[in-house]
Amino acid sequence: MTHIRATAATLNGKEGLLIMETDVLKRIPISEQDPKARACNFDEVCLGYNEEEAVAEASRCLNCKNARCIQGCPVSIDIPAFVHEVSVKNFEKANSILSDASSLPAVCGRVCPQESQCEGQCIRGIKGDPVSIGKLERFVADWARENNIKPAPPTVKIDKKVAVIGSGPAGLTCAGELAKMGYDVTIFEALHEPGGVLVYGIPEFRLPKSAVVAKEIDNVRALGVKIETNVIIGKSTTIDELMEKESFDAVFIGSGAGLPRFMGIPGESANGVFSANEYLTRSNLMKAFDDDYDTPIRPGKKVAVVGGGNVAMDAARTALRLGADVTVVYRRSEAELPARVEEVHHAKEEGIKFNLLTNPTEILVDENGWVKGMKCVKMELGEPDESGRRSPVVIEGSEFEMELDTVIMSLGTSPNPLISSTTKGLEVNKRKCIVAEEEFGKTSKEGVFAGGDAVTGAATVILAMGAGKAAAHGIDDFLKSR
Amino acid sequence: MYEILKAQMLAENIYLMDVKAPRVAGSCLPGQFVIVKIDEKGERVPLTICDYDRTEGTVTIVFQIVGGSTARMSKLKAGDAFRDFVGPLGQPSELCKEPIDELKKKKILFVAGGVGTAPVYPQVKWLKENGVDADVIVGAKTQSLLILEDEMKAVAGNLYITTDDGSYVRKGMVTEVIKDLVKEQGHKYDVCIAIGPMIMMKFVCLLTKELDLPTVVSLNPIMVDGTGMCGACRVTVDGEVKFACVDGPEFDGHKVDFDQAMKRQQLYKTEEGRAYLKETEGDTHKGNCGNA
Ligand SMILES: Cc1cc2nc3c(=O)[nH]c(=O)nc-3n(C[C@H](O)[C@H](O)[C@H](O)COP(=O)(O)OP(=O)(O)OC[C@H]3O[C@@H](n4cnc5c(N)ncnc54)[C@H](O)[C@@H]3O)c2cc1C
Ligand code: SF4
Ligand code: FES
């Protein structure tokens, strides 16, 4: 691995160390791989703070009494407290504060949309840069991992069995919390690798698989959680069978929202049109980017990615690394791009083009069934609708064609109906999402709880984690009351 | 790990294995499939379930070498194991859902081509166990590539074998046998189930449409997860996009867009071939990076 450690100075064109000492309004810049170099490899883009940088950044925190950042955090991490411990170099204490609230801090520090959560609320942000809370979280979690700090195994044992379906952030968190309470927990995962979106969706260059994700999963195992891969609930067995035949006392469903959507435009079944899920699964889960692995991927030479979320950015940046010329096609304007600001920024730095206010209408196919282009129309933002969002409307006569060999559809995903259709008495809503109470994740079926993307539809890692944790408490209450 | 209890070469490049997989064996039905992965680096390979033993907890698979992963799988022996073995996937065959009394009234014709004989076998066997005799046509390129002949003979009503080159029993395509049975000999069938190479299923369907014989086919498009997550397996049936792994693998053959399905199957042809080359000739190519 050849990381290029950009210095603070090259990052914002001033003299790095000087800023570190004087300008408290500015955040300590973070080292990243050089955009040109990283466009050619799958190593992590962001290199994180070193100890000195972390302490300097943590010292910018005002330790507010009424900390607004905590309100912005979906799992209410005691942010000023952990940041303070970083500033006095007490990293172990900082880690234990983080671990109280979050079971996947090394993941969240890397993938949470901090700009709209904790950092979006930070008081420092009014006059200057907010404190880099996410980067500090990542620093602490990485420090703990490098220093081999493991969660303490549970001291009590409760003789009750809980089944957790799915090993994404929701399932892992719920399982970890229940194991800490002493329950006997088994996770059932449909794929051959645990981690959910963290292993099949989010790419290596944003979230290293063996260095970070696997270690977080090891921590959950260290708590006594068993993980059985290759079990598809609804096919290999059902929730009713788990409860009746395998004597599980309660079940948590954290099966995510994995079904891809397509646009329904002509040409969409042509060779060279992929769902982002397929493209990313081939590259991340199956490691098609690595020649040592058997699974193939068609990288494409001229690629359009349709959509503007994190998934679209990940697909675009993966295609770029596999050697393609990539354009993101999105029907609204830049301000509405749902992806994290950092991802859009990184994508642009790496040379990804954006065709905004553009909507595909047809995929053009050659005589052999391969994609040769895409017909699009230009859009403009119309009047705000009831939700306040300005919805895009087609500009008459603006039709044009893009020449392409690959189109990656990244239009959002919805929950797989497999579990709901095979479980008696489990209520779902119109969008196929499982109906569950927000507070404790209770569903319409006794003893069955749910949370994460399976309930909300595609959302975020931290919300899924929060729901997993809430459901663990719901399950604890339920099992204690019986 | 999923232990292999029996490994056998059925014909050149075609292998049969019994694999210990109690969860799959406990819940599978004819028509469904599994996904196997040999090791960390292997591909996820979808294979139709060829037989199962609920008490032993085993599932029988049959596969042909088509790429790097299947080439490596062919070298496994009894006592070795697959890293991953997941299923059952897809919908069970429609036959399994019909009341037995209804089935007994029906004349059923199976048409199997090549390795497609393997997935036909459990259905014929299941019918036999339920007191229904079905006729079976098995086509192979040549005698040495014919598989499961004895097994099939034991469960089929009438068994008709044909080889493309005439090296065994008769010469010709399966479609000629169908024509012969229906047009010449006046057999009446209520339903035909055809499983084999895409091109064979296409021509069987063209013929049976003409003969007004409802036909079910089992599609084997490219797959990744097998649970509806990626859409790699999409096929057009009656003008609608379906995911073969969850909606299928069996579909009404008269409504399948075979031309599109065949084009989609070509998708990774070169890459698959490349993986196979690497297996036999060593690592001769490297990954590609845009700017490098
Ligand atoms: C490419 C991509 C990038 C993203 N980037 C970000 C980001 O930067 N920041 C952010 O906060 N969020 C991001 N997200 C969203 C985030 O990953 C999800 O919101 C989160 O993972 C949801 O967690 P979950 O546990 O509910 O479900 P998942 O992570 O989807 O996990 C569900 C698991 O359940 C398994 N499963 C499903 N059905 C069954 C079954 N029947 N039986 C057994 N197992 C089953 C699945 O295989 C899967 O492993 C991204 C998502 C994607 C796809
Ligand atoms: S709002 Fe900002 S400055 Fe205040 S405690 Fe939180 S991180 Fe520190
Ligand atoms: S194989 Fe992925 S959706 Fe069917």
Residue A152 forms part of a structural domain: no
Short-list B211, B197, B199, CA closest to B109: B211
Residue A103 pLDDT exceeds 90: no
> What's the total number of domains in chain A?
3
Do A134 and A213 sit in the same domain of this protein? no
Chain B interface, mutation test: which of A165, A275, A294, A317, most B Cβ atoms within 10 Å? A294
Instruction: For B44-78, write each residue's pLDDT tens digit.
Output: 999 989 999 999 999 999 999 888 889 999 999 99
> Could you tell me the fold of the domain covering B2-89?
Elongation Factor Tu (Ef-tu); domain 3 (2.40.30)
- Phi–psi pair at B137, nearest 5 degrees: -110, 130
Residue A155 resides in a domain: no
pLDDT in tens, A376-432: 999 999 888 777 778 889 999 999 999 999 999 999 999 998 999 899 899 999 888
pLDDT confidence bin for A3, thresholds 50/70/90: very low
Min Cα separation A311/chain B (Å): 13
For residue A345, pLDDT beyond 80: yes
User: A105, A123, A146 — which closes off a domain?
Assistant: A146
Q: pLDDT value at position B292?
A: 30
Q: Does B9 touch chain A (CB under 8 A)?
A: no
Residue A22's pLDDT is 53
Find out whether the beta carbon of B273 lies less than 6 Å from any atom of ligand 3: no
Please give the mean pLDDT across all residues of chain B: 88
Are A377 and A325 found together in one domain?
yes
What's the rounded mean pLDDT across residues A188-199? 96
Backbone φ, ψ for residue A347 (5° rounding): -60, -45
Range of the structural domain that residue A463 is part of: 161-258+415-481
Structure pTM?
0.89
For CATH 3.40.50.80, list the domain ranges present in chain B: 100-215
More confident residue, A246 or B277: A246
Which token pair is B155?
């469960």
Does A81 reside within a domain? Answer: yes
Global ipTM? 0.86
Q: How far is the CA of A113 from the centre of ligand 2 (A)?
A: 17
Using alpha carbons, select from B100, B122, B120, B112 the residue that is nearest to residue B25: B122
C-alpha R_g of chain B: 19
Identify the domain boundary among A413, A435, A456. Answer: A413
Supply the pLDDT for residue B291.
33
Cα nearest neighbour of A415 on chain B:
B229
The span from the first CA to the last CA of chain A, in angstroms, equals: 54
**DSSP at B6:** E
Q: How confident is the model at residue A304 (pLDDT cuts 50, 70, 90)?
A: very high
User: Selecting from 3.40.50.80, 3.10.129.10, 3.30.450.20, 3.40.47.10, what CATH number does the domain B100-215 have?
Assistant: 3.40.50.80
Burial class (CB in 10 A: 0-12, 13-18, 19+), A431: exposed
Identify the bridge partners of residue B215 per DSSP, sorted by sequence position.
B192
**Does the pLDDT at position B283 exceed 60?**
no
CATH 2.40.30.10 placement within chain B: 2-89
Cα–Cα dist A109/A136, whole Å: 7
* Distance of CA A80 from the midpoint of ligand 2 (Å): 6
Strands B135-140 and B108-113: parallel
Option in B227, B231, B232 nearest A190 (CB)? B227
State pLDDT tens for residues B98-142: 888 888 889 999 999 998 999 999 899 999 998 899 999 999 999
* Dist CA B205 CA B255 (whole Å): 9
- Tell me if B211 sits within 8 A of B204, measured CB to CB: no
Residue that finishes a domain, picked among A413, A436, A467: A413
Q: Verify cis geometry, omega within 30 degrees of 0, for the bond prior to B249.
A: yes
pLDDT of residue B275: 60
Same domain, A8 and A122: yes
pLDDT tens track for A128-139: 999 999 999 999
Q: Do B24 and A236 touch (CB under 8 A)?
A: yes
The Cα B271–Cα A288 span in angstroms is 11
The two structure tokens encoding residue B98 = 């019909």
Domain with A403 in it: what CATH number? 3.50.50.60
Structure-token match 């570190």, residue found: A20
State whether residue B81 is helix, strand or coil. Answer: strand
Query: Given this model, what pLDDT does residue A384 score?
Result: 82
Predicted pLDDT of residue A15: 42
Tokens of B286: 């490297």
